[in-house]
Structure 1
């Protein structure tokens, strides 16, 4: 049974504005408290849960004590955090989020920073065939890096490489390859990134495939063996355990989008001075007037063609011209 008083003291003592409740694919204890983070200049506590009972119990403890609960929507264990939050939480605000997205962004930013924002033709070996490894392989390939995928299951690595190549744009410079362990691959890879839910799976066998000053990123945490780490000085390797805080700005952007002024004031449809108006991407009926902002318009975009686009000026009828004039005069008077 969890120590309720200790839990409340640890999580609530810092008066967090946010609580990130996530899970992990790896086998771990039912409940872990992670280091505090800062989101939008406010304290964000973070916990990992892998057990359904523990999840419900903790959510009940923090309800109303933390203003915003970010509940993991991804299914990594036999626990549904977001569904539990909707059932248990009555006073705090619940927002679904995907921790893997933050991890992906962190890895992407780290690699770009290390290579001075130029990944073109950099040879990057990704060890892993799961969700994060696949997403990162696609992202780096889109940046025109030369990506190779390896893993504990080489058949799955080949399948994943083929799938990503299907998804890549037609004129991508590089295709994703499956790792072959050929001698020709020795001293070829500028970076090695691991994303697996197992410990110490990358051994010294991979050392010979890295360039003398390669970057090694432990994305899955504890993926590297001691023998590989001990060899780093032989090639001046940079070995880094991925810190997902690098991806926090993307979480902030996601959170801020929930309260985006766009949904409250920009998008919508209404009559203004008897004229049907739409804004914010709403597909208007034929002849509706499209504005830049439904609440406080400053610009007339044009006349809707009924198909999601605009009429050409040469297609305007007398009713269109009259309605445009009414709206333009209204905007002039309001501004």
Structure 2
């Protein structure tokens, strides 16, 4: 089927929804030039998804949907020589371009899946993370911060040591340190095994001793485990799951959420109210500026800025400072 017919089919499905969008991503692995991925829907928004690794296919897809959809989500992580964002910026004239980081969505999905499975209690749980790359390092850090005992398994012990030492440098002080897998006792059974490899795990037998009847195995890299391994896990009723990144779909839409738009339009910034300088939303004000909770519709006075990013204590307030606070509180009271 020609690409144009495929695109028309996806557009026809999108017409059934109030808000329409498409998502274009790529992969670091060898892949087809053009591939349709599973559709995604949330509330009244539907998204047609494509994996594109060819510039001509990319330009044709972008041109076809430009103006037909509200948003075009572009994978900003450059995994191939093809720069999706650069091409989209040059091609799109009508639809709104939004960048996304699929790796972050993958980590969020994995985190949510584990929290669901463990009833949001990772304290003292044992987790093996297979891999030493981007995704593996991110999820290892995330789970260690959730007070799990994390063990990293790489392709060789040298890589494991390098990554664990690097990650432990910036973990919070009292967080359980991340260790290499050879530091786990063979008699211990782990709660979770996560694989984030770019290919299939070659020495699966090394993790058999630590897998127990209650272990939860996640294939995050997709096809990381052999057919024999999967069949064996299923035969002994071990829960093995392929990670579905639709779990964290709302995270992808965060930049277009009403709350975010409202924050930047009404909460964040600096302004003058009745001639009094005010700031809100973390905006650092000059000495004497009144800090409020909302720049457009303030309901609370936080204090007076000290010009250094902090808030003056009561003893530091001048008469002019107190006068400004009084004026803003009077505006708030009148508005309410």
Q: TM-score, normalised by structure 1?
A: 0.91
2:253 is paired with a residue whose SS is helix
For structure 2, which runs of at least 5 residues remain unmatched after alignment? none
| 2:76 alignment counterpart | 73
**Could you say which residue in structure 1 is the equivalent of 2:133?**
130
Q: Paired residue for 1:227?
A: 228
102-111 vs 148-157, greater mean Cα deviation: 148-157
Answering whether residue 110 of structure 2 is matched by residue 111 of structure 1, we say no
Match of residue 162, structure 1, among 160, 165, 184: 165
Partners of 1:263 and 1:285 in 2: CA distance: 20
CA distance in 2, matches of 1:156, 1:93: 42
Shift in alpha-carbon separation, 1:192–1:325, aligned structure 2, 3 A: closer
> Please, which of 164, 177, 180 is the counterpart of residue 178 of structure 1?
180
CA distance in 1, matches of 2:229, 2:205: 5
Distance in 1 between residues matched to 2:181 and 2:301, nearest whole Å: 55
Whether contact under 8 Å (1:132, 1:195) holds in the other structure is yes
Residues 189, 215 of structure 2: 8 Å contact kept: no
Structure 1 alignment gaps of length 5 or more? none
3-state SS of 1:185 partner: coil
Kindly provide the CA deviation profile for residues 169-209 of structure 1, in whole angstroms up to 9, marking residues without a partner as x: 1111x221222398x42553222111112146463443233
1:334: how far off?
A: 2.2
TM-score with structure 2 setting the length: 0.91
- For 1:26 and 1:312, the matched residues in 2 are separated by 56
Residues 202 and 223 of structure 1 are in contact (CA less than 8 Å); yes or no, is this contact kept in structure 2?
Answer: no
In structure 2, what is the Cα distance between the partners aligned to 1:187 and 1:247? 31
Relative distance call for 1:294 and 1:29 in structure 2 (3 A) is: same
Q: Does 1:218 align with 2:219?
A: yes
Contact 2:234 2:240 in 1 (8 A): no
| Aligned match of 1:312 | 313
CA root-mean-square deviation: 2.2
